[in-house]
Amino acid sequence: MIRSAVTLLVCLVFIILSAFAVSANNNFIQVNIDPYGTSGVDDRMSPLDPSSVDLPTPQGLLTNAVGSSPPEVVQAGYGTRPVSKVKAPALCPPGVNCGPAPDPVCILPKRFPRQWELSAQAFYARVRGTVQWPGMVLGLPTTQLDLNDDLGVPAHAWLWEFSAYYQLTPSWAVFYTIMPTNLSSVFRTTRTITFGNWTYPAGTQLYSNWDNYYQRVGLQYTAINSCNARVSVYGSWFANVQRTSLTSGYCGGTCCTVDRTRNMVMTGLEFQKCIDNKCNGGALSCDTKAGVAWLDGTWGFDVQAGLRYAVPMGANRWGYAKGGYRIINLYEDRYDLQMDSSLNGAFAELGIVF
């Protein structure tokens, strides 16, 4: 019984001495590895207390222990990278178009080979001009007569022009246009006038008639023919017949008529540019023509500017409406006869390409 008590006492003393020896030689550190890269937390601190979290230290994974200092908590660099400057990626990486999508190309309708284009134009014109015939009577110059005030031709009139185009190749086309005009009125002269071989006192009642036939036959060449623009040049034979006559009881109904037939050449330029394509397939475009005429003792020009709206009809066929402003001027370059004319005003046109 006494032997058992001594053995137990010896074991207890040995355990106590071993514990003191271990605590006296505590030369190691405690390392906690946080796999998620968060800051180290002392085991003795409550995880629910935010103030118990230590900031990461700049020390390495291993460090030398100093004496019996309290254990240090070191954060391992597992799953983390050193802080460094990173260049931001380019807003538009190479090879990638980051800009706005380009607008769709505006398509301008056109005639294809072996297609026709027919049109009719209503031209509301301001009619003006002068007539002097003959130039001299008994050595004295005759009166230069105003087409409206002295010869009674209406100052405003609706004129009609008809045109036809036939496309031979993608670049060449032939065309024909005609504008027949006949204006007449009954009026009284406001002054004494001399016309032909007769002199009419003021207040004489006269019947006037004015004919003006305007026609062209020509060839058109399209020099620029892109998707949204077209530039063409043309040359044509230009024939103009202008006739002015006066009739009155004063001369027994057989008064004077002056007839002038001109054979000229007209060359010009035509420009078309697409402005917008509509959701129904229609196309809005500008359409401008300008021509110069010369020869046969006369020169003049024909200019028209407007907008065209074309609507598809299937199978490369189009119908269109056009409107704008037009000027046609002809000037006589003779001394024995002068017949100048001017037509200008708004127009409207309807046509079809088939």
Q: Note the pLDDT tens digit of each residue in 253-279.
A: 777 888 999 999 999 999 999 999 988
Q: Is pLDDT of 73 > 50?
A: no
How many angstroms separate the Cα of 160 from the Cα of each of 29, 261, 347?
Answer: 110, 20, 10
Of 208, 193, 189, 207, give the one whose Cα is nearest residue 137. Answer: 193
Q: Is pLDDT of 50 > 60?
A: no
Confidence of residue 198 (pLDDT cuts 50, 70, 90): confident
pLDDT recorded at residue 25: 52
Confidence of residue 348 (pLDDT cuts 50, 70, 90): very high
Q: 134-151: b or e for each residue (b if 16 or more CB lie within 10 Å)?
A: beeeeeeebbebebbebb
Ranking 130-139, 158-167, 189-198, 323-332 by mean pLDDT, the lowest is 130-139
Confidence of residue 248 (pLDDT cuts 50, 70, 90): confident
Angle formed at CA 345 by CA 220 and CA 181, multiple of 5 degrees: 75
Q: Where are the beta strands (DSSP E) in 168-294?
A: 172-188, 193-195, 198-200, 205-225, 229-247, 257-277, 283-294
Q: What is the C-alpha separation between 268 and 246, in angstroms, rounded? A: 36
Q: What is the C-alpha separation between 152 and 206, in angstroms, rounded? A: 8
pLDDT recorded at residue 56: 47
pLDDT recorded at residue 233: 97
How many angstroms separate the Cα of 291 from the Cα of each of 54, 234, 241, 270, 282?
Answer: 93, 9, 18, 9, 28
Q: Look at residue 312 and give its three-state secondary structure.
A: strand
Q: Judge residue 178's burial from the number of C-beta atoms within 10 Å of its C-beta, 0-12 exposed, 13-18 middle, 19 or more buried.
A: middle
pLDDT recorded at residue 91: 56
Of 336, 294, 319, give the one whose Cα is nearest residue 109. Answer: 319
Of 288, 180, 262, 164, give the one whose Cα is nearest residue 218. Answer: 164
Q: What is the C-alpha separation between 99 and 11, in angstroms, rounded? A: 87
Kindly report the pTM of this predicted structure: 0.69
pLDDT recorded at residue 20: 56
Structure-token pair, residue 322: 């056009």
pLDDT recorded at residue 89: 54
Which residues neighbour 161 within 8 Å (Cβ) at sequence distance 6 or greater?
Answer: 120, 121, 123, 177, 178, 179, 214
Within a 10 A sphere around the Cβ of 127, how many other Cβ atoms? Answer: 21
Which residues neighbour 228 within 8 Å (Cβ) at sequence distance 6 or greater?
Answer: 105, 106, 107, 108, 273, 274
Structure-token pair, residue 256: 């004077």
Regarding beta strands 172-188 and 283-294, do their DSSP bridges make them parallel or antiparallel, or are they unpaired?
Answer: unpaired
Helix (H) or strand (E) holding 2: helix 2-24
Q: Report the percentage of the chain scoring pLDDT > 70.
A: 70
Q: Give the residue-averaged pLDDT of 110-122.
A: 96
